[in-house]
């Protein structure tokens, strides 16, 4: 019987590992790395099974319903109330976002009620992880080494992964036009020839078929444009929130902050601009300013004087 918890956790880990083969990021560390979270619940095992089978609409619907069962967490009960939440956020962070193609093709008969349900689940997870990081730090119910594990091995990597997913989620918009009405980017000769043939083909279709294509095109355009706009807004919010969390968690430790920034999909060249537009330079963030970035900032500061 003593083998049951590790076996259950291992099963969930294997499931998520297989589910992640569709994209290049390595699997996230699951909550079983902490003793009290080793045995996932039946609900978590069910959700991980949906994710393994790429039944993403059912997964996101189930993840939402799971959150409705959560009790209010405070720093007085965070030690007992965190388990289901952490496993839920692990799965949500591990799950891929929809594209227009996958949203149409995966479980077409399942009603999500919202074509941004995947974004809502991930953004909600980030918002709540921000809250729980604060509660974990403040509580006296959890020992310091375990606090560090929860925050640094679980919450922060999950948060960084979701931010990275949003950064990489922008879909090319085949309907984008410049001021003159030309496609952006410009079409190649091969694409122009294909489009010309398609126009001739569509001209020969019955009116009902043409109307159907127009509706599908409108839906395609709306889906991509709306989600791309949401992703842009979410990246701005999450990158700022993540930087504040990192500065608070790793004061004076540039290397550790940098590691999480890289995990979130930024390059080393991106870091100076990210710092400037999110946390800026003050006494708490001064350690983030290094080398040429610091020299450039010092020069700007002197000019302002």
* pLDDT, tens only, 21-50: 344 578 999 999 999 999 999 999 999 999
Backbone torsions φ then ψ of 177, nearest 5 degrees: -130, 150
pLDDT over 70 (residue 9): no
Q: What is the dihedral of CA 118, 122, 123, 129, to 10 degrees?
A: 160
Q: Name the residue with tokens 């990275």.
A: 164
pLDDT value at residue 127: 96
Q: What DSSP designation does 280 have?
A: -
pLDDT value at residue 297: 82
Looking at per-residue pLDDT, the higher value among 184 and 263 belongs to 263
| Confidence band, pLDDT 50/70/90 cuts, at residue 90 | very high
pLDDT over 50 (residue 18): no
Distances (CA, A) of 92 to 1, 44, 217, 237: 30, 11, 30, 19
| Confidence band, pLDDT 50/70/90 cuts, at residue 8 | very low
Angle at 115 between CA 114 and CA 118, to 5 degrees: 95
pLDDT over 50 (residue 19): no
Contact, 284 vs 247, CB < 8 A? yes
Contact, 27 vs 13, CB < 8 A? yes
| Confidence band, pLDDT 50/70/90 cuts, at residue 139 | very high
Of 66, 173, 193, 180, the residue nearest 128 (C-alpha): 66
Percentage, residues of the chain above pLDDT 90: 62
| Confidence band, pLDDT 50/70/90 cuts, at residue 260 | very high
Dist. CA 293–CA 276, nearest whole Å? 10
Dist. CA 185–CA 173, nearest whole Å? 10
pTM above 0.85, yes or no: no
Orientation angle between helical segments 271-278 and 254-263, nearest 10 degrees? 100
Percentage, residues of the chain above pLDDT 70: 78
Q: How far apart are the first and last CA of the chain?
A: 70
Dist. CA 220–CA 218, nearest whole Å? 5
Rounded mean pLDDT, 114-134: 95
Contact, 66 vs 43, CB < 8 A? yes
Peptide bond into 185 cis (omega under 30): yes
Backbone torsions φ then ψ of 183, nearest 5 degrees: -60, 145
pLDDT value at residue 104: 87
Q: Name the residue with tokens 């002197």.
A: 302
pLDDT value at residue 20: 40
Q: Which tokens in the block code for residue 276?
A: 């400037």
* pLDDT, tens only, 171-228: 876 655 555 556 555 657 776 776 677 667 767 767 677 666 555 655 667 788 889 9
Backbone torsions φ then ψ of 48, nearest 5 degrees: -65, -30
| Confidence band, pLDDT 50/70/90 cuts, at residue 238 | very high
Element (H, E) at 13: helix 4-19
For residue 160, count CB atoms less than 10 angstroms from its CB and return exposed for 0-12, middle for 13-18, buried for 19 or more.
Answer: buried
Looking at per-residue pLDDT, the higher value among 102 and 196 belongs to 102
| Confidence band, pLDDT 50/70/90 cuts, at residue 17 | very low
Rounded mean pLDDT, 4-17: 46
Dist. CA 260–CA 246, nearest whole Å? 8
Backbone torsions φ then ψ of 109, nearest 5 degrees: -90, -5
């Amino acid at each position: 019987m003593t083998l049951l918890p590790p076996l259950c956790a291992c099963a969930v880990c294997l499931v998520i590992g297989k589910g992640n083969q569709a994209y290049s990021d390595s699997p996230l560390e699951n909550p079983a790395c902490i003793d009290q979270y080793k045995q996932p619940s039946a609900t978590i095992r069910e959700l991980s099974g949906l994710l393994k089978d790429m039944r993403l609409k059912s997964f996101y619907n189930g993840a939402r319903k799971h959150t409705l069962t959560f009790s209010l967490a405070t720093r007085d009960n965070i030690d007992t109330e965190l388990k289901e939440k952490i496993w839920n956020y692990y799965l949500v962070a591990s799950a891929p976002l929809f594209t227009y193609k996958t949203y149409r093709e995966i479980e077409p008969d399942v009603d999500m009620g919202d074509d941004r349900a995947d974004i809502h689940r991930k953004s909600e997870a980030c918002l709540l992880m921000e809250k729980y990081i604060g509660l974990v730090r403040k509580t006296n119910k959890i020992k310091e080494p375990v606090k560090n594990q929860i925050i640094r091995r679980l919450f922060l990597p999950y948060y960084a992964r979701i931010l990275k997913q949003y950064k990489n989620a922008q879909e090319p918009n085949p309907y984008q036009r410049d001021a003159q009405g030309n496609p952006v980017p410009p079409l190649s000769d091969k694409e122009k020839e294909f489009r010309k043939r398609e126009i001739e083909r569509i001209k020969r279709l019955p009116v009902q078929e043409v109307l159907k294509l127009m509706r599908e095109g409108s839906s395609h355009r709306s889906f991509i444009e709306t989600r791309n706009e949401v992703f842009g807004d979410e990246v701005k919010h999450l990158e700022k929130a993540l930087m504040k969390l990192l500065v608070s968690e790793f004061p004076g430790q540039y290397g550790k902050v940098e590691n999480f920034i890289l995990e979130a999909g930024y390059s080393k060249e991106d870091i100076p601009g990210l710092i400037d537009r999110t946390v800026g330079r003050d006494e708490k963030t001064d350690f983030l300013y290094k080398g040429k970035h610091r020299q450039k900032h010092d020069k700007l500061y002197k000019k302002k004087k």
